[in-house]
Copies of this chain bind each other. A is one copy, B any other.
Amino acid sequence: MVVMTSHNNLVPVAVLGLGAMGRALAGAFLDAGHPTTVWNRSGGKGEDLVARGAVLARTAEEAVRSAELTVVCVVNYDASQAILEPLADALADRVLVNLTSGAPERVRTAADWAEQHGITYLDGAVMVPTPLVGGAQALILFAGARPVFEKYETTLKALAGQAAFLGEDHALAAVYDLSMLDLFYASMSGLVHAFALAREDNVAATALAPYLNTIAAILPDIASGMAAAIDAGDYDGQEANLSMMTASVDHLLHMSRDRGLDTGQLEAIKAVADRAIAKGHGADDWSSTIEVLKLKG
């Protein structure tokens, strides 16, 4: 039997799942001084955490019952539900924080299951790589009942200095996560293509990088302006309109093709812009392309 002794007045926590992220989360709780119980489906993990003060539970139920708040972070929602469903009784009247990555649809299903079993449920998305977990700059997004987030905010800030509450819809953390990744991969791909284009004219990537950063530096203002335009549905193009910008994309496309470079991303960007121009947005801002991104209702 595991005997839990709370050494301080910090919330006793459990972490289910000791992959790289689960271990980082448990480590952050330990660093903050929380009584921390850990468990992993397959054995042989967590000994490093025990050396740092964690208790290794023999069963997931034992871990949950030792804690006031349980964090689960595993590979996907199939895995998290497989672990959680047998624990419904143990979790009732306790707090479950699911930091597993998954589709908004799966989060809503998990939240419905939790509600049916009287489990207080917050969903979350870890937005930083494992080495940053627990740090002041680490961002974890949370969604669910606001009073629960507020009650445990200090505990959750042990995991991420930037613990952000998004709203009552449990899926919001997953939605923001997806949208942020959407921009992330578009930019990652754009970065590499930019380096490839420059390389064709003998420009080293390290020479170009500081100039690419001037583009990254203007994105926040552009995103804020676009957001206001999109929410208002008012896409009035001022400095640069969609027709002018699409001509610029077409120029890039031709320059890339001339150099034998892949043009898939540029063609996809131009196809959307062309569709928006055909729909009458030529004199509007680039943000007007959102009106043609929805293909079916």
Contacts and interface: CB of A to CB of B under 8 A. Distances in A.
Contact of A201 (B130, B171, B239): B171
B214 A139 contact: yes
Contacts of A183: 187, 190-191, 193-194, 212, 215-216
A199 to B, nearest CB: 8
Interface in A25-84: none
Contacts of A255: 103-104, 178
A195 to B, nearest CB: 5
B178 A252 contact: yes
Number of copies: 2
A209 interface: yes
Given A226-B192, A266-B185, A212 B272 contact: no
B261 A265 contact: no
Interface stretch (A2-10, A88-96, A111-119, A282-290): A282-290
A230 B103 CA distance: 33
A136 interface: no
Interface string A259-287: 11110111111011000000000000011
Given A196-B290, A290-B196, A295 B214 contact: no
* Dominant secondary structure of chain A at its interface with chain B: helix
B211 A176 contact: yes
A104 B262 contact: no
A180 B212 contact: yes
A148 interface: no
A270 to B, nearest CB: 9
Contacts of A181: 248, 252
B180 A215 contact: yes
A260 B205 contact: no
B260 A227 contact: no
Interface stretch (A11-19, A150-158, A217-225): A217-225
A264 B188 CA distance: 16
A224 B209 contact: yes
Most buried by B among A180, A201, A265, A289: A265
A176 B295 CA distance: 35
A212 B178 CA distance: 11
B269 A186 contact: yes
Nearest to A269: B189
A227 B195 contact: yes
Interface of A: 103-105, 127, 129-131, 139, 141, 164, 166, 169, 171-172, 175-176, 178-199, 201-209, 211-217, 219-220, 222-224, 226-228, 230-231, 239-240, 245, 248-249, 251-252, 255-256, 258-262, 264-269, 271-272, 286-287, 289-290, 292-297
5 smallest CB-CB distances across A and B, nearest first, come from A186-B190, A264-B268, A205-B227, A216-B219, A209-B227
